[in-house]
Structure formats: C-alpha cells, structure tokens
Amino acid sequence: RPVCYPGGMRPRRLIVIAVTGLALIGAGQVWRYQHRDGCRAYVPAAGPLVAHAGGGLPEQTYANNLEALDLAASHGFTMVELDFLVEEGRLVIGHDADHRSSLDPAGLMRWLDAHPRMSVVTDFKSDNLAGLELLKQAAGTRIDRFVPQIYSPQEYAAVAAMGFPAPILTAYRLPDHGWQQAANALPLRAVTIAYKRRALAQGIRHPVFLHTVNQAVPGYGLYTDCLIPAA
C-alpha cells in the first residue's frame, strides 16, 4: 500500500532511477506523471533504491536540501544522489544556477556525521573532475562516504587516483554504442542508464541502475523520487 506523507545491492542487475516523473510500467510501455510538484505518496519497493536529488518531498522534487535528506533517512534510504556545481571555483549543491540548494558542503558534511549509514552519489552538472577534486578537499576523511558518478570510461583513472570508492558510470552523456567494452573492463560499482535505453543493459557485465523511474522494476535498483525502501 502507498505510504502517504504525514508531516546495497545485488539482484542480477541494478537499476538506479533518477526520477523527474512517475513512470508507470505496463505492457512494455512507460507513462510518466510529472512530479515537479512533489510526491503524492511514497510507495514501498523491494531492491536497491537511491533517493534522487536528495529524495522527493511532498511539495517538490530536485530539492537537494536538508529537508529532503532528512526525509530520505527517515524512509530508510542508505544512499542518496545529490546534484553539484562548481561556480567561480566554489563547490555548490544544486541542479543549476537557478536551483541552488540552501544546503552548503559544510552542512552536508555535518549531516553525514550525524547519519553514519548514509552515502552520497554525486551528479556534477559542471566539470566532473574539477568538481570531484573540490569535493575531495571538502570531504577529508569522509571521502569513502561519496560514490562518484563518472560520465565516460576515460574518467575512471583520474577519479580512482583521487581516492574515491569505485564509481558508477552514468551513460546519459554517452552514445548507444562504443563504450561498453571499456566499461566492462573497469572495476565499476555499477552502470546507470536511462529507462528508455534499458536495452543497453544486455551488453553490460556490471550491475545496472536505471533512471528515472518511480514505480518498481523487478530485478533492478532504482534512483527514485517517490519510492521508498520496503520494510
């Protein structure tokens, strides 16, 4: 039953779904109800889940803020994805210049200290390597609490050299073909693919995350706004 708001991983393939809408899956089709106005309900789902952009709030998604993180933690998440930017040499949390978070990196580190079970998946909307270098400096000994996303296999070596845990390769900036063999040769944590490109999972030997979906997809992990971990 949906849980209304009152006020790891390893199936054969993982799908992490970073969601802007409710994806209803049936008969091979996907219908999306846009969740820009937030989550009408929180639906328990089995399997690995990552809270997208900090997790959906009843009134909005893409919040990337402390309220979203606290709600995700209360729902039982252990991994949240956050959007980051680099602006004038400074690390900023937020999806873009018009949607900066009220949460700053220092506040995020304090939150992680208070929530020792939580890890953060990064999604840099500006230069990834420059951003991860700034995040490394901000995180200090907390670097193992961050799971970096990389945007091509070529970024792997530089990110590994920074000392981060094994990254997730996100394919949303990649073509359909030409990168899978290189990805399969790397010790990645997983690969994340858009739901509409899920056929690409057949050629990937790593766990696969799908984005973006707000309804359970058996056999995958999900980046999600409005699903929550089943008890």
Digit-coded pLDDT (tens) for 35-87: 467 999 999 999 899 999 999 999 999 999 999 999 999 999 999 999 999 99
Helices (H) and strands (E) in the chain, counts: 5, 14
CATH number, span 21-229:
3.20.20.190
- Please give the structure tokens belonging to residue 129: 């390597």
**How far apart, in whole angstroms, are the C-alpha atoms of residue 99 and residue 116?**
27
**How far apart, in whole angstroms, are the C-alpha atoms of residue 174 and residue 51?**
23
Residue ranges covered by each domain of the chain:
21-229
pLDDT tens-digit series, residues 88-123: 999 999 988 777 888 999 999 999 999 999 999 999
Q: List all residues 6 or more positions away from 63 whose beta carbon is below 8 Å from its beta carbon.
A: 53, 54, 55, 56, 57, 101
